[in-house]
Amino acid sequence: MAFEKIKRSENYSEWYNNLVNNADLAEHSAVKGCMVIKPYGYAIWEKMQQQLDKMFKDTGHSNAYFPLFVPKSLFEKEEKNAEGFAKECAIVTHYRLKADPNNPGKLIPDPDSKLTEELIVRPTSEAIIWNTYKNWIQSYRDLPILINQWANVVRWEMRTRLFLRTAEFLWQEGHTAHATKQEAMDETVQMLNVYSEFAESFMAIPVIKGIKTENERFAGADETFCIEGMMQDGKALQMGTSHFLGQNFAKAFEVKFQSKEGKLDYVWATSWGVSTRLMGALIMVHSDDEGLVLPPKLAPIQVVAVPIYKTEEEHQAILAKFDEILGQLKKLGISIKLDDRDTYKPGFKFAEWELKGVPVRLAMGPRDLANGTVELARRDIKTKEVVSLDGIDVFVANLLEEIQNSLFQRALSFRKEKYFEVNNWNEFLDVINNKQGFAFAHWDGTNETESKIKELTKATIRCIPMDNLQEDGVCILTGNPSKQRVVFAKSY
């Protein structure tokens, strides 16, 4: 298949952009900073969405939908949240256009359509949702409220990259309301664990679960929990966040409830979300110089079958056998595609499906048919073998599971190689600038030191791991006492 190949080792950023384009996942749109997610890319997102949606519902959540627009006065009610998103907000000021009398063919805002109150295009939905919850909650009997919504949001980014950072992106955002602090904290941690389980079991990406520092915390939250993944260039990607909002939004929107004891109290809140940024993680953790590599659980096509023949008689005989095989695979819930296009040669098809990351490829010619065999190629390790058609369905099902586990173990081994415990500034600089990985280092706990390290190295504290051991040490920058290590890395 003719396309420009760029090696990860030579230009990781260009390799990523090139792969997104060549694998037909997404492209830039006519709207600067926004993307078009193409059918194959969207099919992968749908697989993610379906699995996450099941996991949310299994933990008691229901889907709802809230408006895209947030009145400015509501957005401003929780001050920290408003300030945190202010620089990224898109604002609607008029609701109608009219022809420009001084420039025929051009449109300008109609002055008579100026809104009495400007509308924020949602960068996140806490404000509109908590203003709604105020009408839903009066008593402890109304709690908990466990709501998720699948939506788009707008955060006006100046420097964009497909899937990783765009002005508009797709996501889900959970918003829950609880009677007690402990219930809300339990919800926050539960959803972080859901994200971690999804990342590791379905995306085959090992993640570090942790707590964000005050500098990195979600605007308006008391605590932000996160999962952090390591990409193949040693940079971190924040793959999901779960926020304990305390009573901040309840107080801002006057959301109170009467407890069982008859007391009036503010509701406790959480919010949590993942976005199409997960597509970027999937690409950057597993893919190679030949194209996309997909874990079977998220591959839209898990098996592709390619017939090889010279005569129409051979063609029909091979199709009949493939029809039988594919029927067996379908019964096991395996998604398959028969590539019987007569406009492309087998070599082209092999390259195309390799580029698109299909986990398993079956190829059959007349000799295979006669021998009762099929050629099987694995995308993850690029091996080929001839296997018997006897029990092929079970063989492929087991192989897909093996590939899923193999991809996780490969990513875990890579992270172990790039995860360094450092004890002084020089070791820290070596990891961040030369070894290009995660630095597990002592920090004195101050915002000033955290900001200084970021200024000097562009590395940030990705998280304070939840399973952290408490140990005495000294900060790598200031030499001040420290009780625990934190994870530093450059990030997307």
Peptide linkage before 71 cis (omega within 30 of 0): no
> What is the C-alpha to C-alpha distance for residues 438 and 230, in angstroms, rounded to an integer?
8
Q: Do 469 and 378 share a structural domain?
A: no
Query: Where a domain ends, among 346, 370, 402?
Result: 402
Taking only the tens place, the pLDDT of each residue in 336-374 is 999 999 999 999 999 999 999 999 999 999 999 999 999
Taking only the tens place, the pLDDT of each residue in 183-210 is 999 999 999 999 999 999 999 999 999 9
pLDDT of residue 2: 53
| Residue 180 in domain | yes
Q: Say how many domains are in the chain.
A: 3
Q: Do 157 and 56 share a structural domain?
A: yes
The structure tokens 């309301």 sit at 177
Q: Do 173 and 36 share a structural domain?
A: yes
Query: Where a domain ends, among 370, 402, 434?
Result: 402
pLDDT of residue 243: 98
CATH of the domain at 215: 3.30.930.10
CA atoms within 13 Å, Cβ hemisphere of 394: 3
Mapping DSSP onto H, E and C, the string for 51-97 reads HHHHHHHHCCCEECCCCCEEEHHHHCCCHHHHHHHHHHCEEEEECCE
pLDDT of residue 4: 75
Q: Do 282 and 300 share a structural domain?
A: no
Q: What's the full length of the chain, in residues?
A: 492
| Residue 98 in domain | yes
pTM of this prediction? 0.96
The structure tokens 């007391």 sit at 263
Over the chain, what is the mean pLDDT?
97
Q: In what order do the strands lie in the sheet with 460-465?
A: 62-63, 145-154, 168-178, 268-275, 236-246, 223-230, 207-211, 460-465, 485-489, 438-442, 419-421
Q: Do 334 and 242 share a structural domain?
A: no
Domain with 424, as residue range(s), is 419-489
pLDDT of residue 159: 86
CATH of the domain at 347: 3.40.50.800
Q: What is the mean pLDDT of residues 155-172?
A: 94
pLDDT of residue 472: 96
Is pLDDT at 304 greater than 70 in this prediction? Answer: yes
Q: What share of the chain is helix, strand, coil (3-state, %, to 5)?
A: 40, 30, 35
Query: Is residue 361 packed enough to be buried (19+ CB in 10 Å), middle (13-18) or exposed (0-12)?
Result: buried
pLDDT of residue 104: 86
Q: What is the mean pLDDT of residues 3-17?
A: 91
Taking only the tens place, the pLDDT of each residue in 254-291 is 999 999 999 999 999 999 999 999 999 999 999 999 99
pLDDT of residue 312: 97
Q: Do 118 and 23 share a structural domain?
A: yes
| Residue 411 in domain | no
Q: What is the mean pLDDT of residues 414-434?
A: 98
Q: What is the mean pLDDT of residues 230-239?
A: 98
Is pLDDT at 22 greater than 70 in this prediction? Answer: yes
| Residue 274 in domain | yes
In this structure, the number of other CB atoms found within 10 A of the CB of residue 204 comes to: 27
| Residue 266 in domain | yes
pLDDT band at 157 (very low <50, low <70, confident <90, very high): confident
Q: Do 345 and 233 share a structural domain?
A: no
Q: Do 271 and 215 share a structural domain?
A: yes
pLDDT of residue 3: 66
Q: Using an 8 Å Cβ cutoff, are 279 and 23 in contact?
A: no
Is pLDDT at 160 greater than 70 in this prediction? Answer: yes
Query: Where a domain ends, among 375, 402, 429?
Result: 402
| Residue 342 in domain | yes
Q: Do 278 and 138 share a structural domain?
A: yes
Taking only the tens place, the pLDDT of each residue in 410-420 is 999 999 999 99
